[in-house]
Structure 1
Amino acid sequence: MAQPIDLTLEFYAPKAKADLDERELRIQLAAAYRLLDKFKMTDLIFTHLSVRLPGPEHHFLINPYGMMFHEITASSLVKIDIEGNIVGESEWPVNPAGFVIHSAIHAAREDLTCIFHTHTRYGIAVSALECGFLPISQFAMKFYNRVAYHDYEGVALELDERERLVKDLGDKKVMILRNHGLLTAGRTIPETFFLMYYLDRACEVQITAQSASTKLIIPSESVCEHAALQQNIEDENLGQLEWTALMRMLDREDPSYRH
């Protein structure tokens, strides 16, 4: 007799590895930079991804300011502390706005270790809409009632904005920065990539649908919540299945990110 299909996919999903060391986190974060470049989610040398390192020091890794995402390698990532001081040696500075945004969340959210911030075309477009992010696609449903908003205050260079960023994010992992872009935060780098990839895809679908200039179909609240629970973004292994495939792809195409 044929075995029934496991509709939960739990059998197939790799488990998130706990307690990655600095070298492993460097490799994963460098891979994430390369993936954002591959999927055209970059803004020249701007925007930033970071991961908090294990230990009580609250050190985290972020991109060298001035390097394109396709150039970033594990060893080129810059280690800084929560005050913005570079730890160790680096020939590169750190984006001041990146420090403000990332230090705020790393200091306040012990449950999250990784943060992505992007300026994608469709993410910025949705961030400028009064209606905000709409549940009009299956991509979007996973974020139903799970998106925070932060109003635009100018380039994020003022330290006092950190308190408002954290307050607006609340207990969520996804935030739309009004007139600015997208932010996702997760327990792992694979999870944070998964959230950003599908948040941006949902924004692309929304802008494409709205450009048709006809009435949108928005499912009922109960259906939207049901779909969100089906695609549970609180799953502890979120993004792991996709990440293993993405790493294989990167290693086939250009494994230099590991250096």
Structure 2
Amino acid sequence: MLSSFLLFGGCTSNQSQPLEPVAELIPGILIGYLPHDVIPDGIALLPTAPIAGNAEDKRLNTEVIANQEGFRWELATSDDNLEFPVAASMFSCAIDAKISKEETPQLYRLLRRSATDAGLSTYAAKKYYQKKRPFMINEAPTCVPAKEAHLRTSGSYPSGHAAIGWLWGQIFSEITPEYSDKALARGWAVGESRLFCNVHWQSDVEAGRTMGAAAFARLHANTEFTSAMAAAKLEIASVRAKGLKSSRDCNAETNALSLNADSEKL
């Protein structure tokens, strides 16, 4: 899903010192931290993709697409948007703090660059398997009708959004340990949103999380990444000292997250 990802596409004391420029992979998309030859390889790491969703995929997908309305559907639609600056606030409710290019420039850049790494980690397997997406089989609506033509040409396995969401969940769990559970739950929910959107199977989402975890582990051997993590942690402390909160509707988000795909409430 590299092509899809690329289409959507930086401590208070540091704000007076502009960040050093980072090259772009394509216009608007920053290069990641990982050189190409060390990005985790989904073909080597993942099990063979179910051709069109296994039995559990189809059972869960049937249940989820019957609930394409309300708060969870709206959140799933929002979670599809990985463009910045919108995507920067995705975890702001989970950690109860404002995240923006102006207030947290190091964190903002960290999210942009790490998303590239996670997205690229799914590319080889997507291209190799070219698995059909659920809406191509069940003909039910998706939350992104304008993107369906492109998605038909982009392999479903593994999910790039799930990889990015799970990687970001791990990042926020580490830099805001007091909100670790909420950060990881939010990262998990990004993958669940792909089920509600009817653009991925459960096996795609699980494989995406595996790639996000693999990318996160590999990033810890990169000094640029670990330095950015330390700087981002200081920025969050500064934002908290200022009392700056999320601009999102956190009550609505909490309600939506109570309806995950494996919930008995479906």
Q: Assess same fold via TM > 0.5.
A: no
Q: Give the structure with the larger strand fraction.
A: 1
Q: Give the structure with the larger helix fraction.
A: 2
Relative contact order higher in (CA < 8 Å, ≥ 6 apart): 2
TM-score of Structure 1 vs Structure 2, range by shorter chain: under 0.3
TM-score, normalised by the number of residues in structure 2 = 0.24
TM-score, normalised by the number of residues in structure 1 = 0.25
